């Protein structure tokens, strides 16, 4: 509710937003991006015709270097658009490998802060850090992304650390973008009432809250701590240590771990890493985060996953994390299972049991519609199957069948797309969902085990149960007084 109030905009801004949306629309089309989208086989003939007309009227006739033009366009538009580009960089199935390779720059190689400004930021956060706590500090960043940049340093005790610093005025810039996105979705919902079921503005609220939390680095440090606690016994997943004594809202100091990007296949092969094992570990970790813990890394582009010398997966950048309730996890597990089994009647049933369907909806017709959109996706070669894309297709049925879209799955779907995209890049012959299937089946059985349910209830209510003897004693005292 608080984020919704912050995203509200004064009426006088509406004309400005209208002009801005038109300008942005033209700028993006001028990059030549529609040329790539027209070739996408997933679009129907009507959509392709509209894209061709727009491309003919507004598109750039020089189609060379589309990826570079799109990259520069997103950078100039602002950090909110850069985040959108980071997500797109994991989707070669939509934009093609060449364009995605260009967009990968958005993950780590943007314009850095000036050195004079950099030292001022560090001094404001901890005036003694540079002089008293560090043996050395490298002014050249090892990564510079949309909201922050990272430098390496050596502590006086010899430990190598990474220092993450928020960029100046990033709060204002990112909030400006999200306010515009919020207006755009509200405008669409007003102009096209049927689109309200998609809850676009609610999705922007959720993504805004998650992304704006990224601007408090103590929250990121806390998320890293929680993730480390969840995986403290996992042999192949290492979360860097947080140095809380130096960490502030605008500066995060954490353990530096040497590693290779998960999508740098040339370097991974040169270092004799087992790509198949890396894929299996990544799939297992994704499952454990989403289903076991309900707490997952929400920004899983390849730049945020390293492979260390031992072949361990090392996550970095914990600014965007997602949560799912146990009820949400059970629904998702059953949904994925039934989709993989092609049991479309069960898919409809769990939507109905979750009160996500409107009244008088024909289950048979909905089941048939889900089969129609699922079959082309599930019948693809194993490395091309995308359950994340399939979930998006099911959401597209919301208007016709009055399906209540659940906003809490928005970040998860984005994460699923990134995870699938990354898996496909490093090992195109692997289907991460088939690897996850035994784990999901076991989790479903465990969560429906009556003894597990009772154990979980006792765990949740243990504080109340501990008070029972005290309550009984008080009742005895009252009765004895009578």
Which positions are annotated as active-site residues? Answer: 299
Helix axes 410-426, 387-395, angle to 10 degrees: 150
Centroid of chain to Cα 263 = 18
Rounded CA separation 17/190 (Å): 15
Burial class (CB in 10 A: 0-12, 13-18, 19+), 450: exposed
Question: Residue 416 in contact with residue 289, Cβ under 8 Å?
Answer: no
H/E element, 252? strand 251-255
Q: What is the DSSP string of 131-148?
A: IIIEEEE-SS-SEE-SSE
| Residue pair 179/3 in contact by the 8 Å Cβ criterion | no
How many angstroms separate the CA atoms of 344 and 363, rounded?
10
Helix (H, G, I), strand (E, B), or coil: what is residue 339?
Answer: helix
**Per-residue CA distances from 296 to 70, 86, 279, 286, 388 (Å):** 30, 18, 17, 8, 16
307 beta partners: 260, 313
Is residue 251 within 8 A of residue 125, CB to CB? The reply is yes
3-state secondary structure of 216: coil
In 3D space, the residue among 142, 147, 97, 149 whose CA is nearest the CA of residue 122 turns out to be 149
Rg of the chain in Å (alpha carbons): 25
Q: Could you give the CA distance from residue 122 to residue 134 in angstroms, rounded to a whole number? A: 12
């Amino acid at each position: 509710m608080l984020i919704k109030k912050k995203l509200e905009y004064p009426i006088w801004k509406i004309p400005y937003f209208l002009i801005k949306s038109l300008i942005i629309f033209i700028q993006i089309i001028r990059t030549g991006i529609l040329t790539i989208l027209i070739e996408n086989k997933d679009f129907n003939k009507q959509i392709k015709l509209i894209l061709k007309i727009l491309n003919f009227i507004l598109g750039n006739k020089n189609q060379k270097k589309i990826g570079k033009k799109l990259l520069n366009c997103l950078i100039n538009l602002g950090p909110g658009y850069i985040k959108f580009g980071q997500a797109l960089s994991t989707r070669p199935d939509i934009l093609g490998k060449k364009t995605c390779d260009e967009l990968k720059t958005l993950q780590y190689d943007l314009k850095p802060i000036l050195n004079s400004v950099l030292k001022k930021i560090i001094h404001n956060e901890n005036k003694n850090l540079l002089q008293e706590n560090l043996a050395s500090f490298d002014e050249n960043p090892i990564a510079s992304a949309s909201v922050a940049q990272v430098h390496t340093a050596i502590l006086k005790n010899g430990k190598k650390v990474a220092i993450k610093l928020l960029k100046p005025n990033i709060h204002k810039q990112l909030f400006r973008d999200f306010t515009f996105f919020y207006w755009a979705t509200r405008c669409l919902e007003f102009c096209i009432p049927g689109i309200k079921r998609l809850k676009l503005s609610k999705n922007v609220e959720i993504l805004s809250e998650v992304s704006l939390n990224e601007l408090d680095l103590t929250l990121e440090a806390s998320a890293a701590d929680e993730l480390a606690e969840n995986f403290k016994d996992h042999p192949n997943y290492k979360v860097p240590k947080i140095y809380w004594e130096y960490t502030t809202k605008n500066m995060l100091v954490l353990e530096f771990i040497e590693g290779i990007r998960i999508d740098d296949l040339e370097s991974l092969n040169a270092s004799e890493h087992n790509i198949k094992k890396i894929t299996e570990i990544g799939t297992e970790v994704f499952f454990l985060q989403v289903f076991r813990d309900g707490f997952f890394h929400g920004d899983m582009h390849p730049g945020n996953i390293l492979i260390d010398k031992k072949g361990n997966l090392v996550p970095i950048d914990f600014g965007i994390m997602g949560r799912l309730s146990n009820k949400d996890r059970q629904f998702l597990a059953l949904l994925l299972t039934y989709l993989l089994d092609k049991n479309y009647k069960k898919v409809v049933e769990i939507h109905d049991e979750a009160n996500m369907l409107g009244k008088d909806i024909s289950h048979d017709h909905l089941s048939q519609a889900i089969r129609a959109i699922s079959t082309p996706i599930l019948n693809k070669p194993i490395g091309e199957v995308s359950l994340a894309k399939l979930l998006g297709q099911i959401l597209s049925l919301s208007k016709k069948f009055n399906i209540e879209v659940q906003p809490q799955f928005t970040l998860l779907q984005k994460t699923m797309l990134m995870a699938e995209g990354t898996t496909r890049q490093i090992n195109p012959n692997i289907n991460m969902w088939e690897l996850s299937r035994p784990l999901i089946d076991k989790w479903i059985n465990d969560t429906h085990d009556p003894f597990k349910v009772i154990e979980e209830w006792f765990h949740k209510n243990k504080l109340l149960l501990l008070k029972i003897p005290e309550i009984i004693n008080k009742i005895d005292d009252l009765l004895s007084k009578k």
